Structure 1
Amino acid sequence: MSRYDEQLETLLTAKAQGKGVNVRILEAGLDTKIKEGTLEHQDLEVAAFVARSLGSMSSRVKYSQIRRALESKSEEQAAE
């Protein structure tokens, strides 16, 4: 996941420095995190950025999957 983390850092600082971000690496990292079940709130923001950047149906679906997974995770924590 080091390439994902590297691109995530670039994304977080890109607004201030004007650097480019490799959206495909971010998308692949999100796929991995979905499969592993290690999603965080920050990943939802990354997925939104990827969906806006690519505009593809698959990236929009991925955003929805992450949003639903995080919502169900927060509901489970609230039920405990």
Structure 2
Amino acid sequence: MVAKAEMSAMELEKVMSDGEVVLGGAGDEEEEDVVLPGYRFHPTDEELVTFYLRRKVARKSLRIEVIREMDIYKHDPWD
């Protein structure tokens, strides 16, 4: 389960190598609020690259839509 505090780089690598992010479930002993790395108004550059963008490049799903994906070429910049 993802702890309330930010994950260390080693923990991020473990989550990323497993191929999915576990947000808790029926087998968990404790119920905690889940805070993914960078899930606040201003994620750091390191959080964006090491957690979200690396997963995107590796074509691994995040299972929650924290950062919505869209084709920017389908929209005018003035919209």
Greater helix fraction, Structure 1 or Structure 2: 1
Which of the five TM-score ranges fits, normalised by the shorter chain? 0.3 to 0.5
* Greater radius of gyration (CA): 2
Q: Which has the higher contact order (CA 8 A, sep 6+)?
A: 2
